[in-house]
């Protein structure tokens, strides 16, 4: 947050300073312009208070609430100069995080009625992972690894190198089991039914079925027979995600939740409070 403010206010706000040499008391209203799951109000609040601790802030709803179009979600009162300096950074966070939460909520709604959980990935904006994964949580999704140290996930590039040394998927699982910290679940990627069989031989805890059709996922699920949890990934969309839930996926990981979520449409509207001028700052 501080880095974002430093980026926007590195040389001050020359426009606001030129137009408002004296403090003017104003009221700002942040409005959601379409149906969305709101995320980032807590961040926006901190942005405003970092710029000016004397601002009075009212959150009309809580983060994670779905609102209809033209809903006021936050009001802020105080020196217009502070409101203008904080506006873009605060709204940027709200638009980005609400977009993620809204898309996540849509994916979760698409698999409602199934035991399948929607997961995020590490395909996040550098430096914003914690906030973006928080937005996924607010939208009803579950968080996968926050970092490479959070769990064992043997992917295709690991396997490609291991195969050149004569180690198959089963062997990779055994190596991970022996070398990873105690208690971590072993997850391995499989691109074919043969690799699923090898993952089972290696006693993987989770088998990640990558870029498989629903029909092939069904065959893999039947082969696994609950001996491991099943995660599905690869090009998931709102149109295809239910098909994967229907054939038995325990988890569906969706990189698009964070790398492709469209920004939500929110804006801040200002109105001056007549007769209320502050002292020159």
Residues marked active site are found at 88, 123, 155, 189, 210
Cα–Cα distance, 16 to 95 (Å, whole number): 23
Concatenated DSSP letters for the chain? -HHHHHHHSTT--HHHHHH-SS-EEEEEEEEE-SSEE---HHHHHHHHHHH-TT-EEEESS-TT-EE-TTEEEEEEEEEHHHHHHHHHHHHHHHHHHHHHHHHHHHHHHHTTTSS-EEE--S---TT-HHHHHHHHHHTT-B---SSTTS-EEE-HHHHHHHHTTT--HHHHHHHHHHHSPTTPPEEEEESSHHHHHHHHHTT-SEEEEES--HHHHHHHHHHHTTSSEEEEESS--TTTHHHHHHTT-SEEE-THHHHSPPPP-EEEEEEEEEEEE----
């Amino acid at each position: 947050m501080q880095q974002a403010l430093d980026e926007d206010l590195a040389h001050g706000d020359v426009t606001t300073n030129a137009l408002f040499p004296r403090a003017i008391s104003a009221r700002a209203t942040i409005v959601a312009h379409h149906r969305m799951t709101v995320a980032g109000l807590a961040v926006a609040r901190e942005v405003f208070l970092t710029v000016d601790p004397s601002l009075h802030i009212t959150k009309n709803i809580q983060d994670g609430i779905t609102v209809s179009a033209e809903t006021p979600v936050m009001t802020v009162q105080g020196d217009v100069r502070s409101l203008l300096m904080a506006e873009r950074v605060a709204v940027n966070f709200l638009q980005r995080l609400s977009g993620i939460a809204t898309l996540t909520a849509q994916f979760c709604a698409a698999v409602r009625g199934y035991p399948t959980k929607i997961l995020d990935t590490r395909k996040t904006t550098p430096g914003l992972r914690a906030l973006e994964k928080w937005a996924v949580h607010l939208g009803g999704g579950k968080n996968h690894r926050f970092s490479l140290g959070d769990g064992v996930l043997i992917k295709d590039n690991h396997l490609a190198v291991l195969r050149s040394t004569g180690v198959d998927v089963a062997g990779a699982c055994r190596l991970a089991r022996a070398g990873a910290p105690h208690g971590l679940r072993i997850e391995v990627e499989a691109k074919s039914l043969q690799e699923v069989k090898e993952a089972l031989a290696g006693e993987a805890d989770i088998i990640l079925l990558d870029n498989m059709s629903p029909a092939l996922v069904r065959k893999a699920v039947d082969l696994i027979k609950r001996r491991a949890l099943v995660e599905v990934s690869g090009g998931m969309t709102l149109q295809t995600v239910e098909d994967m839930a229907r054939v038995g996926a325990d988890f569906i990981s969706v990189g698009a939740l964070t790398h492709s979520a469209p920004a939500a449409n929110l804006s801040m509207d200002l109105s001056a409070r007549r007769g209320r001028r502050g002292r020159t700052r």
